[in-house]
Amino acid sequence: MEEGRGHILVVGSDPEECCNALSKVVDKCEWDEVVCAKVTNEVGALNGIAHKLAEANIQVDKVYASSGEADEAMIVLQTSDNAKAAEIL
């Protein structure tokens, strides 16, 4: 991170629309394709996802998580094969 600057992560279905919406408050906008999976918000939920992807020989490059409903969490993944990962999850 550069001094005085930070990063925000936004998940959306249209990256150009997201960047346009953020253009008034950010200097630079970049996007990557990701896979999102809703899981039960409990210990070990990410472990199940990781094992499924490992069995399919899919590498996880980045992972983020966000809580939603009290019993739900959203896992956001960037993988070596997002299309295959989406099919598996």
Write out the chain's pLDDT in tens, 89 residues.
567 777 778 888 898 898 899 888 888 888 889 999 989 888 888 899 999 999 999 999 999 988 777 788 899 999 999 999 999 98
User: Any idea of the CA torsion for 34, 39, 44, 47, to the nearest 10 degrees?
Assistant: -30
Domain residue ranges in the chain: 1-31, 32-88
Query: Could you confirm whether domain 32-88 is CATH 2.40.50.140?
Result: no
- Cα 66 to Cα 76: distance, rounded to the nearest angstrom: 8
- Which regions of 7-88 does DSSP assign to beta strands (E)? 35-40, 60-67, 72-79
Per-residue model confidence (pLDDT) at position 8: 79
**Distance, CA of 40 to CA of 62 (rounded, Å):** 20
Whether the full predicted model's pTM is greater than 0.85, yes or no, is: no
Please count the other Cβ atoms lying within 10 Å of the Cβ belonging to residue 53: 21
What pLDDT sits at residue 2?
A: 63
